[in-house]
Chain A
Amino acid sequence: MTRFIALRLRRPALIAMIGTAYAAAWLVHGGNGWVWAITLEVATVAWAVAVYVRGGRDTDEGALAGSRLDERQQLVAQRSWALTGKVGMLASFAGFAVSIAVRSADWLPFLVILAVTGFAFLMGLSTYGVGEEGPADDATDGLNERAPVSH
Chain B
Amino acid sequence: MRNRVREQRTQQGLSQAEVAAALGVSRQTVISIESGRYLPSLPLAFRIARFFDMTVDKMFDPEDEETGS
A residues at B contact (CB < 8 Å): 58-60, 63, 70-73
By a CB distance below 8 angstroms, the chain A residues around B32 are 72
By a CB distance below 8 angstroms, the chain B residues around A58 are 26-27
B2 → chain A closest CB, angstroms: 16
A72 touches B27 (CB 8 A): no
**Chain B, interface residues (CB within 8 Å), range:** 10 to 19
By a CB distance below 8 angstroms, the chain A residues around B36 are none
The one of A60, A71, A73 in contact with B40, judged by C-beta atoms closer than 8 angstroms, is A71
B residues at A contact (CB < 8 Å): 24-29, 32, 38, 40-41, 44
By a CB distance below 8 angstroms, the chain B residues around A60 are 26, 28
A71 touches B41 (CB 8 A): yes
B61 → chain A closest CB, angstroms: 12
CB-CB nearest in chain B for A69: B26
A71 touches B28 (CB 8 A): no
Complex: how many Å from CA A72 to CA B45?
13
Complex: how many Å from CA A98 to CA B27?
47
Complex: how many Å from CA A70 to CA B32?
12
- Extra 9 A-B pairs, beta carbons < 8 Å, given A58-B27, A73-B28: A58-B26, A60-B28, A63-B28, A71-B40, A71-B44, A72-B25, A72-B29, A72-B32, A73-B29
By a CB distance below 8 angstroms, the chain A residues around B29 are 70-73
A28 → chain B closest CB, angstroms: 42
B38 touches A72 (CB 8 A): yes
A64 → chain B closest CB, angstroms: 11
By a CB distance below 8 angstroms, the chain B residues around A72 are 25-26, 28-29, 32, 38, 40
CB-CB nearest in chain A for B62: A149
By a CB distance below 8 angstroms, the chain A residues around B38 are 72
CB-CB nearest in chain B for A73: B26
By a CB distance below 8 angstroms, the chain B residues around A73 are 26, 28-29
